[in-house]
A = this chain, B = another copy of it.
Amino acid sequence: MCAAIAQTLGLSKSRIEALTDGIFATLMTVLVLGLALPPPGTSLRDELFGLWNHVLVYAMSFVVLGVYWVGHHNLFHYIKGTNRVFLWLNIMFLMTVGFTPFTTSVLGVFWLQQSAVALYGFNLMLPGLSLYLIWWYATRDHRLVDLDIDPHVVTTVKKRIVTGPVVYGIAIGLSFLEPIISLILYIVVLAYFILPGHIDIHFSRKHH
């Protein structure tokens, strides 16, 4: 049994997780660098209160990253092995997530402009699609999951993941009518992911 642990420590899965944790940790920190400091000499208090939309966007992106980190974590719970395709799908996921500091500061600076709102939604759509692809690839013919995985879990996770990109797609369309509606949708979809759902069953381990 101990030999099995030793093997697990050297496994690619744990290093993909380490890279993922590292990238998310850095992204969550780098986000705030987009908060531009007002130049010395201006009325500081007014300037700081004028940053409220930057702070809102920062907080929103931080929570988005949290949602994707948790989603990736939950998904990896079922992964039993890795291969080259799986690895590169994960790097693609990380690459799409890596754009968020850029699109976040664009949205902060160009507040409520249609292009900025759509770009932000488009950015957030991509990691969702990547996660969907990862899950589809891993579960297809039980490629990288247990043979006895509950089929209900496979379907529930699939549905849950696809919700994000679908809503972001609708939000991008609506941004041409009224950008603020898209923003509200971005926040609503976060609430959907933060509040408890079906896949939480495996997640509550207490007093084990």
Q: Which residues from chain A sit less than 8 Å from chain B, CB to CB?
A: 1-12, 15, 17-19, 21-33, 35, 37, 40, 44-45, 48, 59, 62-63, 66, 69-70, 73, 77, 80-84, 87-88, 91, 94-95, 98-99, 101-102, 105-106, 109-110, 113, 115-116, 119, 143-144, 146-147, 194, 196, 200, 203-208
Which residue from chain B places its CB closest to the CB of A108 in the assembled complex? B37
- Interface majority SS on A: helix, strand, loop or mixed? helix
Contacting residue for A102 out of B2, B5, B35, B66, CB 8 A:
B35
Q: Is the CB of B94 within 8 A of A207?
A: no
23 contacts between A and B (CB under 8 A): A6-B8, A8-B9, A15-B73, A18-B18, A18-B25, A21-B25, A22-B22, A29-B101, A32-B99, A32-B102, A44-B116, A48-B106, A48-B115, A62-B95, A63-B91, A66-B91, A80-B206, A80-B207, A81-B205, A81-B208, A83-B204, A84-B196, A144-B206
Contacting residue for A69 out of B19, B24, B203, CB 8 A:
B19
Oligomeric state, in number of copies? 4
* A105: B residues at CB distance < 8 A: 37
A61 to chain B, nearest CB (A): 10
Contacting residue for A19 out of B21, B32, B33, B63, CB 8 A:
B21
* A33: B residues at CB distance < 8 A: 30, 33, 101
Cα–Cα, bound, A109→B11 (Å): 39
Q: Is the CB of B8 within 8 A of A19?
A: no
Of A12, A88, A102, A119, most B-chain CB atoms within 10 Å: A102
* A19: B residues at CB distance < 8 A: 21, 24-25, 69
